[in-house]
Amino acid sequence: MIAINGLRKRYGASEALRGVDLRVEAGEMVAYLGPNGAGKTTTIRILTGQTRPDAGTVLLGGVDLAARPVQAKSRCGVVSQHLNLDGDLSLRENLDVHARLFGMDAAARREGVARVLDYVEMGDKAEAIAKTLSGGQKRRAMIARALLHGPSILLLDEPTVGLDPAIRRRIWGLIKRIQGDGATILLTTHYIEEAEFLADRVVFLDQGAVVAEGTPAELTGRLGEWALDCPSNGEIVSEYFPSREAAATAAAALPGPVSVRRVNLEDAFLRMTGRNMAGKGPAAKGHGGGH
């Protein structure tokens, strides 16, 4: 449903994308992860038609974005990381404006607005002024807006940024429901647990290039099951082990405070790039079965 081939984009002397290839199959949810400056935002801007690539092709639902931009973009719903509802309009009015932009007639608009509000469990908020909604309600409203014209592809750019954990998990449930109803989803996020919970497959982007991809289990399994974190010379050094018992044995032999935890996707990214998701470079090394 999403096919990106050889995508390149340069801003002056900086090459934001260096020949990115990416596939998202029908009904699949792929998390597109990397630190700030990796090229995620540039990719999303290209997919949504806000930026033109210097080279490469993008197919959305089989439609070439460069050759038929209107048809290609009509296949997509977009939830941006920035809250961009019109705060002075009601929720119903916000959705109605969106439906008009997609050429929906009056009857389709009424039916569509009612349908998506019911879908995100906000039917009772239809007449609420957007600026009075809570952060979580605004996020659900943006998802409803993205679904209004019946897209087969959903682009989620940091969809839960700034939300507290309880509200974030409610949004996760909604996203999984949307996927279960047949949507193809490309997700960007800085929340590692979000990617691990939601994504069927993860693509790591670093310095404008894809450095690894696979299921969350495949990527973390290359290191081991458990991590031991201990401070060393102002950094946190992580070692990886095949079992909790092995990690605990190693921890018992070390002086000072240490912690034992499950290996996560950030560990995998750190091993592959030498940097964490914030773009910093703490030390990490493997141990035992963690290769």
Query: What one-character-per-residue DSSP string does 46-106 give?
Result: HHTTSS--SEEEEEETTEETTTSHHHHHHTEEEE-SS--S-TTSBHHHHHHHHHHHTT--H
In tens, the pLDDT along 256-266 reads 889 999 999 99
Whether 284 has a pLDDT exceeding 60, the answer reads no
Domain ranges of the chain: 2-215, 217-286
pTM for the whole structure: 0.91
Report how far residue 67's alpha carbon sits from residue 115's, in angstroms, rounded to the nearest whole number: 32
Mean pLDDT, rounded, for 112-117: 97
pLDDT at 289: 42
Mean pLDDT, rounded, for 141-167: 95
Mean pLDDT, rounded, for 154-171: 94
Report how far residue 145's alpha carbon sits from residue 117's, in angstroms, rounded to the nearest whole number: 9
In tens, the pLDDT along 228-245 reads 999 988 888 899 999 999
Out of 16-20, 174-178, 181-185, 254-258, which region has the weakest mean confidence (pLDDT)? 254-258
Sign of CA dihedral 113, 46, 87, 142: positive
Q: What is the CA radius of gyration of the chain?
A: 21
Report how far residue 177's alpha carbon sits from residue 185's, in angstroms, rounded to the nearest whole number: 12
Confidence of residue 281 (pLDDT cuts 50, 70, 90): low
Can you tell me which residue has the tokens 């009857």?
Answer: 107
User: Is the model more confident about 235 or about 170?
Assistant: 170
pLDDT at 288: 44
pLDDT at 278: 72
Confidence of residue 255 (pLDDT cuts 50, 70, 90): confident
**What percent of the chain has pLDDT above 70?**
96
Superfamily in which the 2-215 domain is placed by CATH: P-loop containing nucleotide triphosphate hydrolases (3.40.50.300)
Whether 249 has a pLDDT exceeding 80, the answer reads yes
By DSSP bridging, strand 76-79 and strand 153-157 are: parallel
What are the C-alpha distances in Å from 96 to residues 18, 86, 113? 39, 12, 7
Tell me which residue of 71, 31, 55 sits closest to 189, measured CA to CA: 31
Mean pLDDT, rounded, for 21-48: 95
User: Is the model more confident about 210 or about 278?
Assistant: 210
Confidence of residue 5 (pLDDT cuts 50, 70, 90): very high
Mean pLDDT, rounded, for 165-183: 95
Average pLDDT over the chain, rounded to an integer: 93
**What percent of the chain has pLDDT above 90?**
86
Beta carbons of 272 and 36 less than 8 angstroms apart:
no
